[in-house]
């Protein structure tokens, strides 16, 4: 959105194949400077992307104009991550040009799929948080809500994962090597961001004492705009990502004196800020760079909104009428003192009035229950890098503590426990507390998560402000994760219930009667079989992994973390393998176990777990006893693009985190919506999936959250489970003996020792229940008709998990923003 008052532009009609072909050849010739006969695949991709982009750009400009004319309230989504996936297919789908493009490209003797495969997805996120942000901005545009997503244009996104001897190796994710036709840079709209220095008091012209921040250094944030098209609505919103540049990139005098490195040092220092997604922060330098990133993007975003989205001369006292800043987790919380600084120090708005504005303009989404994931910043670091912001946080906290002491005059311990400033083990700012104190609303992302957030994580705050806390269960966009990812299922659903369901996912309920229709079940089974074949073909071409197609595809795709319990899944695989070794004639359902996961570069035990999974897979692959009955596949570099082929092929969805640890999960929703049955604990959104699809269509196991807490409180002894369970003892004993590490007992000893002596996430406690549930899975899968019936009911009953519904909940419970119709 900008202040431009350009007249609306009517979109050019590219629905006609001849017109589309003409535009494509024109973009190839005048955009890429080549004729069709000499065009590379990248030339073809750019020409096609720009042809489709042309259709969206006119709608984009019209959307901006109409939203400004309406003086609409804008949802500003502040997120450090956006896992967008490939843009070409999404743009074709949203604009309704897929069929036209296929025909036009085909008429030229070209392969559209090959052109699509040229695109490199921007890996600007780590996992679920970034993918959720991408789903949400898609739904905001589809629901016609005026919105801007703000984030960072990381030069290198999440690392590209490779394996060497089964161990994860991180390679740079050079997603910008061939450029991107989807971004629009605007260096003329750069924002200056200041760091470090000191503050000083002075008297303003009105005689009021004010504060001035004298910074030591600064960088420029350059905006790169991306279009976010709504699905066949005509509305196109904006995603604005910031890239850091030096204010003085090159010192010619120093260069001429022969010090070439010093001449470009300022540029390199500044560009580090947007260089890498989540720099390793185990060092002081890494921590500082991460805080620089967070402040950099929110400072750019708030300044951009105030200067370039609001009309000239807008009265900032009315700011709550025009914006809600949604803080996607704790990363953007530094935006609160930044807006306070602008209002108080630059706009001369009195403190109390400014704070009241902020309390109406910010809302906070908490995405975790793990204490270590709730960010705290050392006072020393924050004060050194952002001295004025620390002063503002101190004052907010002092006033809040004074308020608490009035409310709880005899409970100083409660007051201190709620302080934004942590005193032990060292002084630090608790960003989740700051967001809760100032934010208008705090929401969790699943019913169980929101309850635990109120009852255990932010207990005192929810008691003090019960109306401030609410729940918005996460959702996923059906456009990408069914419409694009599963064309066979999309066609089957449309043929059965008609068009329009991709914008109204509740309509999937109309499929329920067909769960007992033999013809429909046969068609559904054929779609699933085709998806397995598609995945097998991709993995053979991409990774050299050969998969049997007449097996159950048992899928676990998610970030590698101990609480997600990939080790529990691995113990099940080892147990099945040992059963077959003991009895080669054992009748089991053939299974392909597919993993997709990246471990954070500094998370050593997670990286060892990846190595163990690959080691077990290698041994199983080389054992003729299990040939064709068990297969472990771990394709490297799991991302959105791979997910779009892998998820539709899944038969069984592994959602086995320890109850009370997963905030929500969205992989569980994607898999269920594509007809995979879930085996899972009562954790995160599993609880709501179970309720939606019914107990007969879900394989439940494991401890409940209260039982988990009871075990923790009584003093968990994982060795007791190991000693009393023969199959567990045998499975874990095989790993310890070196059976999967060429006889070397030391290779995976840290994993074994961690499970036996600590087992923070109770994998051994849940092992037997999990094995029994997996045995039920084996039995159920033998009756393919009944299995497919359950799979269809999963699809039919998962409409609730659309991100459109999530966004509507935000609108109703938190944002109070209205749609603006464009097309």
Q: Residue 12 pLDDT more than 60?
A: no
pLDDT at 717: 97
Tell me the average pLDDT of the chain.
94
Categorize the per-residue pLDDT at 4 as very low, low, confident or very high, splitting at 50, 70 and 90: very low
Categorize the per-residue pLDDT at 8 as very low, low, confident or very high, splitting at 50, 70 and 90: very low
pLDDT at 11: 43
Q: Residue 2 pLDDT more than 70?
A: no
Over residues 638-659, mean pLDDT: 98
H-run or E-run covering 437: helix 431-438
Over residues 504-532, mean pLDDT: 98
**What are the CB-based long-range contacts (under 8 Å, 24+) for 619-624?**
619/577, 619/739, 619/740, 620/573, 620/577, 623/577, 623/581
Q: Residue 266 pLDDT more than 80?
A: no
pLDDT tens, position by position, 560-606: 999 999 999 999 999 999 999 999 999 999 999 999 999 999 899 99
pLDDT at 322: 98
In sequence order, the 6+-apart residues with CB closer than 8 A to the CB of 66 are 8, 820, 821, 822
Over residues 734-750, mean pLDDT: 97
pLDDT at 13: 61
Over residues 371-400, mean pLDDT: 95
Categorize the per-residue pLDDT at 5 as very low, low, confident or very high, splitting at 50, 70 and 90: very low
Distance CA 263, CA 134 (A): 39
Bond before 606 cis per omega within 30 degrees: no
For the chain, give the percent of residues with pLDDT over 70.
96
Burial category of 466 from C-beta neighbours within 10 Å (exposed 0-12, middle 13-18, buried 19 and up): exposed
pLDDT at 468: 98
pLDDT at 262: 67
Residues 781, 787: contact at Cβ < 8 Å? yes
Q: Residue 380 pLDDT more than 80?
A: yes
pLDDT at 523: 98
pLDDT tens, position by position, 786-801: 999 999 999 999 999 9
Residue 492: name the closest of 697, 786, 795, 800 by CA.
795
pLDDT at 268: 75
Categorize the per-residue pLDDT at 283 as very low, low, confident or very high, splitting at 50, 70 and 90: confident
Tokens 């890239």 found at: 243
Q: Which two tokens stand for residue 656?
A: 């086995």
Categorize the per-residue pLDDT at 208 as very low, low, confident or very high, splitting at 50, 70 and 90: confident
Backbone phi and psi for residue 288, each to the nearest 5 degrees, phi listed first: -65, -40
How many C-beta neighbours within 10 Å does residue 158 have? Answer: 25
Q: ∠ CA(803), CA(809), CA(811), 5° rounding?
A: 105
Categorize the per-residue pLDDT at 493 as very low, low, confident or very high, splitting at 50, 70 and 90: very high
Categorize the per-residue pLDDT at 252 as very low, low, confident or very high, splitting at 50, 70 and 90: low
pLDDT at 248: 77
Distance CA 28, CA 7 (A): 28
Categorize the per-residue pLDDT at 409 as very low, low, confident or very high, splitting at 50, 70 and 90: very high
Active site residues: 367, 558-559, 564, 666, 670
Categorize the per-residue pLDDT at 280 as very low, low, confident or very high, splitting at 50, 70 and 90: low
Over residues 600-624, mean pLDDT: 96
Q: Residue 773 pLDDT more than 80?
A: yes
Over residues 534-549, mean pLDDT: 96
Of 114-118, 168-172, 253-257, the poorest mean pLDDT is in 253-257
Distance CA 247, CA 266 (A): 8
Q: pTM (2 decimals)?
A: 0.95
pLDDT tens, position by position, 51-70: 999 989 999 999 999 999 99
Over residues 687-706, mean pLDDT: 98
Q: Residue 71 pLDDT more than 60?
A: yes
Residues 804, 475: contact at Cβ < 8 Å? yes
Query: For 509, which DSSP code?
Result: G
In sequence order, the 6+-apart residues with CB closer than 8 A to the CB of 326 are 75, 76, 77, 78, 363, 365, 810, 814, 815
Q: Residue 1 pLDDT more than 60?
A: no
Residues 58, 130: contact at Cβ < 8 Å? no
pLDDT at 6: 34
Residues 457, 366: contact at Cβ < 8 Å? yes
Categorize the per-residue pLDDT at 278 as very low, low, confident or very high, splitting at 50, 70 and 90: confident
Distance CA 488, CA 528 (A): 8
Over residues 114-143, mean pLDDT: 94
Q: Residue 808 pLDDT more than 70?
A: yes
pLDDT at 127: 84
């Amino acid at each position: 959105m900008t202040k431009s008052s350009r007249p609306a532009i009517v979109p050019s009609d590219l629905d006609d194949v001849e017109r589309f072909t003409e535009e494509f050849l024109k973009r190839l010739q005048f955009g890429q400077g080549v004729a069709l006969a000499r065009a590379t695949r990248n030339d073809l991709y750019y020409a096609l992307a720009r042809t489709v982009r042309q259709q969206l750009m006119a709608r984009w400009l019209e959307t901006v104009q109409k939203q400004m004319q309406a003086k609409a309230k804008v949802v500003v989504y502040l997120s450090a991550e956006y896992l967008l996936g490939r843009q070409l297919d999404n743009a074709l789908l949203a604009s309704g040009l897929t069929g036209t493009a296929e025909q036009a490209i085909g008429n030229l003797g070209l392969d559209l799929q090959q052109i699509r495969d040229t695109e490199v997805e921007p890996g600007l996120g780590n996992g679920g948080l970034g993918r959720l942000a991408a789903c949400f901005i898609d739904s905001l545009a589809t629901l016609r809500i005026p919105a801007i997503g703000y984030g960072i244009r990381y030069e290198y996104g999440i690392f590209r994962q490779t394996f060497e001897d089964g161990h994860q190796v991180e390679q740079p994710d050079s997603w910008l090597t061939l450029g991107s036709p989807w971004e629009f840079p605007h260096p003329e709209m750069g924002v200056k961001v200041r760091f470090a220095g000191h503050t000083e008091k002075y008297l303003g012209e009105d005689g009021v004492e004010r504060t001035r921040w004298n910074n030591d250094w600064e960088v420029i944030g350059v905006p790169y705009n991306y279009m976010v098209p709504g699905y066949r609505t005509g509305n196109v919103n904006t995603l604005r990502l910031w890239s850091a540049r030096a204010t003085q990139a090159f010192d010619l005098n120093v260069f001429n004196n022969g010090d070439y490195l010093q001449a470009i040092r300022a540029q390199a220092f500044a560009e580090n800020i947007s260089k890498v997604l989540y720099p390793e922060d185990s060092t002081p330098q890494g921590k500082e760079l991460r805080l620089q990133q967070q402040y950099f993007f929110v400072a750019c975003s708030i300044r951009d909104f105030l200067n370039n989205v609001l009309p000239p001369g807008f009265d900032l006292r009315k700011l709550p009428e025009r914006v809600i800043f949604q803080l996607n987790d704790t990363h953007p919380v530094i935006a609160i003192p930044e807006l306070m600084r602008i209002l108080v120090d630059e706009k001369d708005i009195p403190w109390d009035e400014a704070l009241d504005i902020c309390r109406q303009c910010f809302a906070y989404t908490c995405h975790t229950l793990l204490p270590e994931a709730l960010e705290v910043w050392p006072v020393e670091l924050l004060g050194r890098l952002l001295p004025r912001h620390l002063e503002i946080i101190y004052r907010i906290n002092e006033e809040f503590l004074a308020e608490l002491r009035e409310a709880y005059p005899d409970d100083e311990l409660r007051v201190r426990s709620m302080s934004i400033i942590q005193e032990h083990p060292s002084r630090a700012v608790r960003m989740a507390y700051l967001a809760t104190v100032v934010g208008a609303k705090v929401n969790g992302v699943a019913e169980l998560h929101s309850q635990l957030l109120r009852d255990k994580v932010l207990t005192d705050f929810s008691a003090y402000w019960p109306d401030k806390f609410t729940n918005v269960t996460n959702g996923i966009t059906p456009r990408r994760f069914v419409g694009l990812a599963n064309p066979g299922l999309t066609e089957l659903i449309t043929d059965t219930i008609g068009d329009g369901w991709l914008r109204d996912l509740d309509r999937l309920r109309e499929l329920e009667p067909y769960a007992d229709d033999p013809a429909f079940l046969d068609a559904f089974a054929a779609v699933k079989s085709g998806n397995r074949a598609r995945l097998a073909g991709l993995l053979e071409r991409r990774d050299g992994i050969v998969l049997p197609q007449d097996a159950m595809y048992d899928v676990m795709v998610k970030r590698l973390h101990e609480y997600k319990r990939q080790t529990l899944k691995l113990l099940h695989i080892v147990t099945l393998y040992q059963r077959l070794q003991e009895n080669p004639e054992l009748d089991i359902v053939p299974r392909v176990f597919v993993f997709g996961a990246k471990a954070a570069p500094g998370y050593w035990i997670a990286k060892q777990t990846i190595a163990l999974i690959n080691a077990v897979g290698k041994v199983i692959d080389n054992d003729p006893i299990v040939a064709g009955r068990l297969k472990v596949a771990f394709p490297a570099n799991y991302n959105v693009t791979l997910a779009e082929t892998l998820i539709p092929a899944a038969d069984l969805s592994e959602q086995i985190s320890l109850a009370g640890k997963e905030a929500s999960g969205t992989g569980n929703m994607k898999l269920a919506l594509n007809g995979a049955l879930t085996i899972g604990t009562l954790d995160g959104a599993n609880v709501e999936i179970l309720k939606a699809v019914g107990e007969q269509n879900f394989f439940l196991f494991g401890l409940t959250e209260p039982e988990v807490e009871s075990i923790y409180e009584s003093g968990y002894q994982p060795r007791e489970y190991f000693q009393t369970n023969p199959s567990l003892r045998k499975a874990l004993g095989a790993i310890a003996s070196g059976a999967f590490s060429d006889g070397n007992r030391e290779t995976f000893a840290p994993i074994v020792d961690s499970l036996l002596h600590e087992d923070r996430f109770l994998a051994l406690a849940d092992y037997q229940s999990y094995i029994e549930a997996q045995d039920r899975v084996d039995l159920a899968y033998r009756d393919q008709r009944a299995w497919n019936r359950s799979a269809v009911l999963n699809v039919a009953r998962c409409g609730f998990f659309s991100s459109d519904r999530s966004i509507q909940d935000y609108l109703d419970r938190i944002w109070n923003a209205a749609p603006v119709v464009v097309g």
